[in-house]
Amino acid sequence: MNKNWRWLPAGIVPVVIVTAAVSGSAIAQAQPQLPAKTAQELLEFVATSTDDAYSGTVEQSSDLGLPDLSMATPPGGTSSSDPTSTALELLTADHTAQVYVDGPDRARVQVLDQLAQRDVVVTQDDVWFYDSSTNEATHAVLPDRDAAKAELEAALQQKAAEYPELQNVPRTPAELATMFLAEIDPTTEVTVDGTSRVAGRSAYELLLTPEDTATLIGSIAVAVDSETGVPLSVTVQAKGQEDPAFQAGFSAVDFSTPDAALFAFTPPADATVTEVPTAEEAKARMEAKDEPAAAEEPVVLGEGWSAIVELPAGTAGKLGVTPGSGGAAGMSDIMDIKPGMDPQEVAGAQALLDQALTEVDGGNALQTSLVSVLITDDGRILTGAVGVDQLAAAAQR
């Protein structure tokens, strides 16, 4: 008796799974048919979407050509006490976040880490930041929006009386779009690059291509939801790199108003709460200490996409970099190593800098696929979306 047919299910099931996986991604890539829009119309459309309420899941990934930072940080997250490393980690590692937005005033972002979570809750009056891995909450009171707006309006009216050309301050979405296009057009080509499907919704692709040859940025693509005008995804391409350097977009989105309770945050009873001083308090404190304002302001060299920001001499020294020492030994200070830090963590950070920084003519440089940083031997820091050689040339001047 031939029993071989009994192996048949075992052959069919993998075929079904592979077919489902392939056709699923094919459907996701199909381009929907939408009425054509010009770049101007699309920008107006985006500008009208600020009052919308929605929620969804955002996936973010990046490929900056940097060594994997997750290896250098201890499992369970970064030390959130250090804002620089938190920002670096948020930008360079892959993340999933739940986003809830209710108009321009209320939003909540939950970064979903494994067995941990970071929350940012923004309301009209204040901002809460909460990190579950350290059980620390940070609270900032926002200045009164209406008062600030009225003040600004009054100042504008006053100025407008002095300078008639200020009457043309854009007020409607259409005016905003026109101004944006006029400002950006000399250096950037703004086009509508067909349609796409994001999170199961049809979207227009707005494409910004720098016409500047010096910059590392290849293009920036924004997918705009065809019904609401809400941007659904952003993709930044770097020149000479096939995979997107940075990508963030909704994998699921829902255009119903989120539950109001989500925006009312009370920190847990046992959490450490830090109050951020308001702008006035900070100003008062500075004056009380009689600290001089920053002696030298950062200088911007060039304009448009290839602009270079130069921080004056002494900045690197303040950050702890000893000019001329070069190599990882001097650079390690930049990571703000404090006594009592886990020695393993310090060693990891040092190894990371060792890998990331290369010695170039006149200093040490960090090259990613989008941004370069040059720390010169005389302690200046130059950064921009250009190659290291351009930074070095700018530093010579």
Partner 1 sequence: MPAERSLGLTLVLSEITVLFRRLRTWAMIGALALIPILIAVVVRVASDGSASGRGPAFLDSITQNGLFVSLTALTVAIPLFLPLTIGVVAGDTIAGEANLGTLRYLLVAPAGRLRLLLVKYAGAALFCLVATLTVVVTGAIIGALLFPVGPVTLLSGDTVGITGYFGRLLLLALYVTVSLMGLSAIGLFISTLTTIPVGAMAATAALAAVAQILGALPQLEWLHPWLFTNYWLGFGDFLRQPLVWNSFLDNALLQFGYIAVFGTLAYGRFSTKDVLS
Residues that bind partner 1 (CB under 8 A): 3-4, 6-10, 12-14, 17, 57, 68, 70-71, 74, 76, 96, 98, 110, 112, 114-117, 119, 130, 132-135, 137, 252, 259, 262, 265-271
Nearer to partner 1 among residue 58 and residue 208 (C-beta): 58
The minimum distance between CB 22 and partner 1, in angstroms, equals 14
The minimum distance between CB 2 and partner 1, in angstroms, equals 10
Is the CB of residue 128 less than 8 Å from the CB of residue 120?
A: yes
The minimum distance between CB 6 and partner 1, in angstroms, equals 4
The minimum distance between CB 115 and partner 1, in angstroms, equals 4
Nearer to partner 1 among residue 68 and residue 211 (C-beta): 68
The minimum distance between CB 8 and partner 1, in angstroms, equals 8
How far is Cα 148 from Cα 201, in angstroms, rounded to an integer? 37
How far is Cα 93 from Cα 84, in angstroms, rounded to an integer? 14
Which letter, b or e, does each residue of 196-211 get, where b requires 16 or more Cβ atoms within 10 Å of its Cβ?
bbbbebbbbbbbbbbe
Is the CB of residue 237 less than 8 Å from the CB of residue 219?
A: yes
Q: Coil, helix or strand for 139?
A: strand
73 Cβ partners below 8 Å, 6+ apart?
85, 89, 345, 348
Nearer to partner 1 among residue 313 and residue 346 (C-beta): 346
Nearer to partner 1 among residue 269 and residue 295 (C-beta): 269
Nearer to partner 1 among residue 4 and residue 213 (C-beta): 4
The minimum distance between CB 354 and partner 1, in angstroms, equals 19
> Tokens for 235?
């993709």
Nearer to partner 1 among residue 74 and residue 143 (C-beta): 74
Is the CB of residue 295 less than 8 Å from the CB of residue 311?
A: no
How far is Cα 377 from Cα 325, in angstroms, rounded to an integer? 8
Nearer to partner 1 among residue 62 and residue 364 (C-beta): 62
Of the candidates 299, 346, 338, 302, the residue with the CA atom closest to the CA atom of residue 320:
338
Q: List own/partner pairs for 139-144 with CB under 8 A and 24 or more apart.
A: 139/267, 139/273, 139/274, 139/275, 139/276, 140/275, 140/276, 140/278, 141/276, 141/278, 143/278, 143/279
Nearer to partner 1 among residue 13 and residue 27 (C-beta): 13
Give the angle subtended at the CA of 184 by the CAs of 180 and 186, to the nearest 5°.
Answer: 140
Nearer to partner 1 among residue 122 and residue 374 (C-beta): 122
The minimum distance between CB 72 and partner 1, in angstroms, equals 13
The minimum distance between CB 373 and partner 1, in angstroms, equals 24
The minimum distance between CB 94 and partner 1, in angstroms, equals 9
Q: Coil, helix or strand for 157?
A: helix
> Tokens for 394?
């700018």
How far is Cα 367 from Cα 216, in angstroms, rounded to an integer? 11
